[in-house]
Structure 1
């Protein structure tokens, strides 16, 4: 595991090519050009045949974006990567490339709400979906239909952070000719590598830990070269959700510090989770890195580390209690998203949707924390006073 982490550190921090490639510059240049010219018309027409490996127009391939893609593919241990303008653009490309009218998508556990909104939107094209709120293989297998084309997962799952047995699920999918797609944003490719466990397509919201500074939106999709060649020609070029070179340069900056930041997020999160697990107002802490967590033994099989995103449940919690705790926090700021240096707090309980949460197996008293890079003692003190 240590050797793997050292290799990942090298991938994140090394520049591509020889030291002289960028005239000795410490930071690779940003290729802001929208187009690239050729010495002859014959060269242009030849390059047009393979825009994925030739620089023609930056909606296809750009040197700065391509450098980021190569690093992410190597870090994930995948054959190839394409970067998108957002995580949802990457998710959309992954799903749309894998389904046709009449197909069914099976979702396992709680998912990011926008992913489910996309699947609801696809009903207008006769693409159906269902959700099985269980991580047991028997329950997953029984939920597969004759027309199931995709099994879509997050591991850990959204909100409750349950662990899915990737090898069992990917093996089941392959035996049925089903494509497996996984959102790996929580762990990042540094701490979990789903492709090594048989997952076909891996997506990331690069806006989270990969960026790490709350100043760039982006997404990534890692898969085999064959799959991405197909996606490049259709879902990538034609839908237009492509990443720009300036966004790619910010994500390359984020990758250089990714290993150190993730270790710091993990250290802080373990301290916060340990504090919460012993608090008399807290019913349960959902963080797979916590040794006493019910998912910890499963997590050790797949994770080499843990991020800073977790949730906890208040005892007898309801909207007023949730709202009160959140509003009393001072260091944790109220905001969506996660994965950056700041510490954030949020709840899926908006006061009018408790019935929906219960249907999805989520306690109305749940509060989500994104533990940032501040002093863990200060964060714990903030939680302590808010829970009083």
Structure 2
């Protein structure tokens, strides 16, 4: 599964566009342009003492899934990868592979809600304690370290308020205390942030998002050093059984072909729309690391080479008003995922009140592949809905 066997590994310094789009001629499969789907549960041998190909049973490895794993590892600058049936399966297995009963985990407080639920309701059953900290403060992380701290779990940026962690500082602290680091890199994707290069031990992705890109398949991956992935694969993957099917792996490889192109387009479109919303009245804050106004924008530029499609706005309105506005949008469908071709809006909930005590509601937006000008035209209903005239809109812009 190691990426070093891939003809376009990171050592060859191939750009992501070529890495995902070009395959060598494969005589094994009659020159098929698309890698075949090995839709079978078991693999037989020519002789009892000559297994040859190394595959036994698809829960333990499947050629189509392994091919996807090689490509993901190469794209993420990792040695090896393991794919799972969902992003949540990847997250839980990555954590379980590094902790035992009696261990302690430090986790950023704004982590993905599924990860937090796993830690709160599952790890606690096995006497693994978790401390949640402000990920923007390395001092808060340091203060949380205990003698039994085993894992520092990061997610940068977070997916509601889009706060970053300083990865170099986190890695240095973890090495100082002998702590393993795991990070969810779904928002930036392997195209825009290489956290293994920064020294993170394991990186997890929800492949359901950008890698799939078509909102039609679930999957997850863990990427890191070959020895760590081998242990995770042998125990937490095979025994828990959260495997990716070969058909799913084929669909993921289809999405992977266009991932760098889509990430480039999504980042450009999202930046345009975030800038537009950042100038509107009654929007207290636009939470998007790509904006110069973001408090960690300089850190974002240091750690990432581009932007994801998801961000949030803090609207000075109560939840009922926010939902009414979202409900009348034409091009934004209402949904909780991100990274697909479609634009989405979701009213998340009330935020801490502003200084003048007016209610503020958090709305999360995913920008899809629609034309940015059409999406902005749809969002411009904001003015009429909240009492601003179209003329004032034009003057404001």
With normalisation by structure 2, the TM-score equals 0.89
Structure 1 residues 234 and 246, CA gap change in structure 2 (3 angstroms)? same
**Contact 1:211–1:251 under 8 Å retained in 2:** yes
State the 1:69 CA deviation.
0.3
Distance 1:98 1:318 in 2: 43
Structure 1 unaligned blocks of 5 or more: 48-52
What is residue 181 of structure 1 aligned with on the other side? 182
8 Å Cα contact 1:286/1:293 also seen in 2:
yes
For 1:43 and 1:120, how far apart are their aligned partners in 2?
A: 47
Alignment equivalent of 2:363, drawn from 358, 361, 367: 367
Shift of 1:324: 2.1
In structure 2, the partner of 1:114 is 114
Cα shift at 1:113: 0.4
Change (3 A) 1:241 1:138: same
Give the secondary-structure state (helix, strand or coil) at the position aligned to 1:283: strand
| 1:7 and 2:15 are equivalent in the alignment | yes
Corresponding residue of 2:276: 275
Shift of 1:164: 1.1
325 and 145 in structure 1: CA distance in 2 versus 1, 3 angstrom threshold: farther
Residues 87-135 of structure 1: per-residue CA shift (max 9 Å, x gap): 0000011000111111111112411101001001211111111211241
- Partner in structure 1 of residue 29 of structure 2: 22
Aligned equivalent of 1:376: 372
Residue 242 (structure 1) aligned with residue 243 (structure 2): yes
| SS in structure 1 at match of 2:187 | coil
Structure 1 residues 105 and 358: alpha-carbon distance in aligned structure 2, compared to 1, 3 A threshold:
farther
Q: Does 1:385 align with 2:381?
A: yes
What residue number does 2:96 align with?
Answer: 96
Partner of 1:197: helix, strand, or coil?
coil
1:368 alignment partner, SS class: strand
Distance in 2 between the 1:365 and 1:6 partners?
44
Give the 5 Å matches for 1:1-388: 7-15=15-23, 17-44=24-51, 54-121=54-121, 122-315=123-316, 317-349=317-349, 354=350, 358=352, 364-386=360-382, 388=385
Q: Distance in 2 between matches of 1:41 and 1:178?
A: 44
